[in-house]
Structure 1
Amino acid sequence: MEKVNNTQYFKFNLDTEVSVKDILDAVYDAMEEKGYNPVNQIVGYIMSGDPTYITSHKNARSMIMKVERDELVEELLKEYIKNRA
């Protein structure tokens, strides 16, 4: 019988982590597929924290909830600054 008071360690492969940008892309595509305005819906989610702004289609709601809202804003702002003319 194993000792139950030993600490168990878990290793996670960080290479398989999905980036915030990838999550936003996937959520955007899922919203568009369902006929929603992705920008309005994502802004609603960021402002309110209410996950019902995001469709559950293609697991979009679950994906976006794994990211902190401030990280979403940070990613959006970085992309805006990077792409401005």
Structure 2
Amino acid sequence: MGRNNTQFFHVVKEQEYDVASILKDVYEALTEKGYNPVNQIVGYIMSGDPTYITSHKNARSLIMKVERDEILEVLFENYIDTQLK
């Protein structure tokens, strides 16, 4: 008689990234290269074009690890926490 063992399936969760930390690193890289970091990050968020972000210090790769809506969420949460409460 055959065995009826239950198979286990393990789902590996995607690595979660700290959006605030990524924004800090990207901001610093843009500043070091002489760009206006606010303008560049806004350009990236609005267009989705990663060329708004410098590749200096791996900033472009970093910012592309998170979705643009996640970036907006963190920015709005911070604004609400610091300005509206």
TM-score (norm 1): 0.79
Matched, 1:41 2:40: yes
Name the structure 2 match of 1:31: 30
Q: Rg larger in 1 or in 2?
A: 2
Q: How does 1:12-31 map to 2 (within 5 A)?
A: 18-31=17-30
Name the structure 2 match of 1:76: 75
Q: Percent of pairs identical after alignment?
A: 66
Aligned residues: 75
CA RMSD of aligned residues (A): 1.9
> Take 2:59 and 2:20, find their aligned partners in 1: how far apart are those partners?
13
Q: Which runs of 5+ in 2 are unaligned?
A: 1-9
Question: Residue 72 of structure 1: SS of its match in structure 2?
Answer: helix
Cα displacement (A) at 1:18: 3.8
CA contact (8 A) 2:23 2:63 kept: yes
TM-score (norm 2): 0.79
In the TM superposition, structure 1's runs of 4+ consecutive aligned residues that sit over 3 Å from their partners are 9-12
Q: Which runs of 5+ in 1 are unaligned?
A: 1-8
